[in-house]
Structure 1
Amino acid sequence: MRPILSPLARPNQAKKSAPKSLRQRVLVVEDELIIGEIAAEALTDAGYEVFTAASAEEAEIILRDMSVDVLFTDNNLGGQDGFELAQAVLSCQSLLSIVFTSGRSRIYHGMCASVGVPFLAKPYPLTDLVEMVKRASKAVTTQ
């Protein structure tokens, strides 16, 4: 017969990391593949579960099957732009936070600021990307 130990007498158990399904999900939509991969790697290193798409159309296909917490999208995607993508996605996932990016910051920064949506001008430091997504993901958890 084994003695029952009080919780204070038990050896400390190592804390387990959260399962991947509990991590915040980010979809990076970027038609410049190397930029999208670098952004995805930085966000993965910061602890997010990251998915990538090279176009708005590809992003919509991904988002049909799963929900994400943050959409990080370029505005200039060829074809459908980031704003059109955001409108389509918000109709299905209303609690989604969005962060826009573009190399044409003069055009888009004012548009994003006028509606209160975060904008990150290219080229951006990866630390700024991670911080912007962190703030956007916190907005999702407080809704």
Structure 2
Amino acid sequence: MIGEIAAEALEEAGFAVFSAASAEEAAVILAHEAVDVLFTDINLGGGDGCDLANKALEAQPSLSVVFASGRSRRCHGNRVPTEAAFLAKPYRLSDMISEVDRAVRGTAYQ
């Protein structure tokens, strides 16, 4: 449900959105679609957002990644690439939209 709300907010902000219910489903989308930004939770059903992002970056090196997690960035250690943006939960939808917009423009910051 949270993913649906996030996708709807991003679509309302003007972004084209592909939604996935699991890491496996996201991997299929990423294998067939060129995307600018991967917005993912670190803890996913059926997989791990860090693993998903690393595989996606191998296939699409220019991909920007925005992670979300209920735990701090520090808790995830070096699993979260330093160049990836990070949103700590809970976050405001406006903050998510701003971070995705920065990532699209290549100006994301941690």
- 1:107 maps to a residue whose letter is C
- Structure-to-structure mapping, 1:58-137, within 5 angstroms: 58-105=25-72, 107-108=75-76, 111=78, 112=80, 115-137=82-104
Aligned partners of 1:55, 1:92: CA distance in 2, in Å? 19
Please, what is the CA RMSD of the aligned residues?
1.7
Unaligned runs of 5+ in 1: 1-33
Structure 1 counterpart SS, 2:46: coil
Secondary structure at the residue paired with 2:91? Answer: coil
2:92 and 2:104 map into 1 onto residues whose CA distance is 19
TM-score by length of 1: 0.68
Which residue does the alignment assign to 1:38? 5
1:30-55 per-position Cα deviation (integer Å, ceiling 9, x unaligned): xxxx1100100110011000111111
Q: Percent identity?
A: 57
Instruction: Select 2:23's aligned residue among 41, 50, 56.
Output: 56
The higher relative CO (CA closer than 8 Å, separation ≥ 6) is in 2
Aligned length, in residue pairs: 105
Structure 1 runs of 4+ off > 4 angstroms? none
